[in-house]
Every structure is written in structure tokens, then in C-alpha cells.
């Protein structure tokens, strides 16, 4: 049951208007979350993260949640859980090895829940996130615990132009995540500029032979190889999904996820 809400900040950019707030659920354990909402998409939170008090003892009512720590190890969103599972499902990332030197590209940052969680899972994987709006980067770094590190970088740039430069320079990625939207009313995600054959072919061209490209809204996974026996492959994916969900403790979050 929702126990309290504290709205603490509002951001304007040339692209969107963002609201960030904290809320707490009671019912046994007190769970405090921070949410990012975007005007025009207020039915769902763009990002949800769990907050942990600095000393482990403070509560929502006795402490200022602005100083609480973001817990990137606890996933609060079905959507983010599905995004994290996708590259492991098609074995672009391994459940058993460190995947040292592998490269992940994310287009669109939001609150950084996906990429920071993956960074904690895979410290040796190089993760680059490209975000068009500098205000989004400010929000993610100020309120959602997004940090730069040796293998995690956020770049303010146009995602499509970044991929075009990668294509020309021969850079390859093991995982590409398209998690961006435009301002279209009917179909904002992914942006219209990414929904054409030439761009999809270019995305395919910057993948490694075992790489994967997946996009926002419906987790659509594209691999640069053909599948001869679709039914057999789906059976394999469903079995592997159960294994991954159990390993990552996502079983409850992913109970409504279907592979088609």
C-alpha cells in the first residue's frame, strides 16, 4: 500500500519536462523508491529505483531521501528486468564468464537503471550510453546514481549519428540497446528515425557475429544470423529464460513475459 509521496524536483529541457519523486510502500518491509516521470507519459514511470538509507536504520518519515543511496542491484521494473535478460537469453553475454572486453551500446539513458544494473553485474564489460538531452544526463547523475567509471561512460550525442560514426570506423558491439523515444503521439518509441530499413541494416553491420540488437517498448531482439527451426529455438529460449530469471531473481518480475 502506498504510504507517502515526496516530490522533490522538476526539470525542464528543450525536449521534455521531467518530474522526480520518492514514494514509500508499507506492508511488512518499508520500501522507498525514486521515480522519474515524463510529461505526456505519466501513466508509467520512466525509471524506478530502490533507495537505501545511508546508515541502514533511517525511515522515510525520519530522513531526507535526497541523501539516500540508489540500489542498482535491486530491479523494480518488469521492463528493465526484460532488457537485462535479453542479451543473456541469446548468449551475446554469458551467465558464467566475466565477458571481459565485450562492448555494450545503449541509445537513450533515462534514469540509467538498465545500464547501471548491467555494470554491477558485468564490471569487465565496456558500456557506452549515448543520450541526446543533457538534462536527462543531469537527472540521472544527480538523482539516480549514474556514475562514470573505467567501463561505464555516458556521452551526450545523437544516437543515430554515433552509430553512423561507429559504422564508418569499423567499431563493433556485442549488445545494442535502443531505449529512446521521440515526441510522436501515436508511436513515440523507438524514434521514427530508427524505424527504417537502412538504419536497421546499419545497426546489424556494427554487431559482432554473436551480437544482439533490441529495442524499447516490446523487447524485440534481432540477431545477425538465421534460425532454421523456430519452434526448437523457442523451446530453448523458454528453458533458458527460466534459468536466467532464477539466477537473477527475476522470476516474479518476469512471470508475464512471453517469447513469441
pTM score of the predicted model: 0.85
Q: Are residues 101 and 141 in the same domain?
A: yes
* CB 140, CB 109: distance < 8 Å: yes
The single residue of 133, 157, 179, 182 carrying the catalytic annotation is 179
Of 18, 39, 70, which closes a domain?
70
Residue 27 CA, chain-centre distance (Å), reads 28
Q: Are residues 206 and 82 in the same domain?
A: yes
pLDDT at 190: 77
In degrees and rounded to multiples of 5, residue 207 shows phi and psi of -90, 150
Helix-then-strand count for the chain, H and E? 6, 11
Q: Are residues 115 and 194 in the same domain?
A: yes
pLDDT at 173: 97
pLDDT at 123: 97
Q: Are residues 250 and 155 in the same domain?
A: no
Q: Are residues 171 and 55 in the same domain?
A: no
* CB 133, CB 158: distance < 8 Å: no
Strand-strand pairing, 152-156 and 2-12: unpaired
Domains contained in the chain, number: 3
Of 70, 89, 121, which closes a domain?
70
pLDDT at 7: 47
- Residue span of the structural domain in which 9 resides: 2-70
Q: Are residues 104 and 66 in the same domain?
A: no
What order do you get walking across the sheet with 103-107 strand by strand? 152-156, 126-131, 103-107, 173-178, 207-215, 220-222
Q: Are residues 30 and 83 in the same domain?
A: no
Q: Which helix (H) or strand (E) holds 99?
A: none
Q: Are residues 55 and 90 in the same domain?
A: no
One DSSP character per residue, 108-135 reads --TT-HHHHHHHHH-TTSEEEEEES-HH
Q: Are residues 34 and 139 in the same domain?
A: no
Distance separating the N- and C-terminal Cα atoms of the chain: 34
- pLDDT, averaged per 10 consecutive residues of the chain (260 residues), comes to 48 53 63 80 78 81 85 92 92 95 96 96 98 92 95 97 97 94 68 85 92 71 63 83 93 79
pLDDT at 1: 38
pLDDT at 216: 65
- Please report, for the domain that includes residue 215, its CATH number: 3.40.50.150
Q: Are residues 128 and 12 in the same domain?
A: no
In degrees and rounded to multiples of 5, residue 104 shows phi and psi of -120, 135
Q: Are residues 13 and 93 in the same domain?
A: no
pLDDT at 256: 78
179 is known as an active-site residue: yes
Of 29, 47, 70, which closes a domain?
70
Q: Are residues 41 and 86 in the same domain?
A: no
Amino acid at each position: 500500500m502506498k504510504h507517502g509521496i515526496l516530490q522533490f524536483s522538476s526539470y525542464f529541457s528543450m525536449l521534455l519536462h521531467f518530474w522526480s519523486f520518492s514514494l514509500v510502500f508499507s506492508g511488512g518491509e518499508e520500501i522507498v523508491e525514486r521515480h522519474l516521470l515524463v510529461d505526456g507519459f505519466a501513466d508509467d514511470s520512466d525509471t524506478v529505483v530502490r533507495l537505501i538509507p545511508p546508515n541502514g536504520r533511517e525511515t522515510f518519515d525520519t530522513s531526507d531521501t535526497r541523501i539516500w543511496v540508489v540500489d542498482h542491484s535491486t530491479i523494480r521494473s518488469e521492463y528493465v528486468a526484460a532488457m537485462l535478460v535479453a542479451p543473456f537469453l541469446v548468449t551475446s553475454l554469458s551467465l558464467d564468464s566475466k565477458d571481459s572486453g565485450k562492448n555494450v551500446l545503449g541509445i537513450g539513458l533515462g534514469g540509467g537503471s538498465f545500464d547501471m544494473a548491467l555494470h554491477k553485474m558485468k564490471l569487465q564489460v565496456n558500456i557506452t550510453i549515448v543520450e541526446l538531452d543533457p538534462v536527462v544526463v543531469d537527472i540521472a547523475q544527480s538523482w539516480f546514481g549514474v556514475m562514470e567509471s573505467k567501463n561505464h561512460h555516458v556521452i551526450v550525442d545523437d544516437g543515430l549519428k554515433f552509430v553512423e560514426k561507429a559504422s564508418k570506423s569499423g567499431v563493433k558491439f556485442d549488445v545494442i540497446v535502443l531505449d529512446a523515444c521521440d515526441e510522436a503521439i501515436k508511436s513515440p518509441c523507438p524514434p521514427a528515425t530508427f524505424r527504417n530499413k537502412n538504419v536497421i541494416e546499419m545497426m546489424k553491420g556494427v554487431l559482432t557475429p554473436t551480437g544482439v540488437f533490441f529495442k524499447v517498448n516490446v523487447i524485440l531482439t534481432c540477431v545477425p544470423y538465421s534460425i532454421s527451426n523456430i519452434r526448437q529455438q523457442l523451446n530453448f529460449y523458454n528453458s533458458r529464460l527460466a534459468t536466467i530469471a532464477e539466477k537473477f531473481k527475476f522470476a516474479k518480475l518476469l512471470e508475464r513475459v512471453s517469447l513469441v
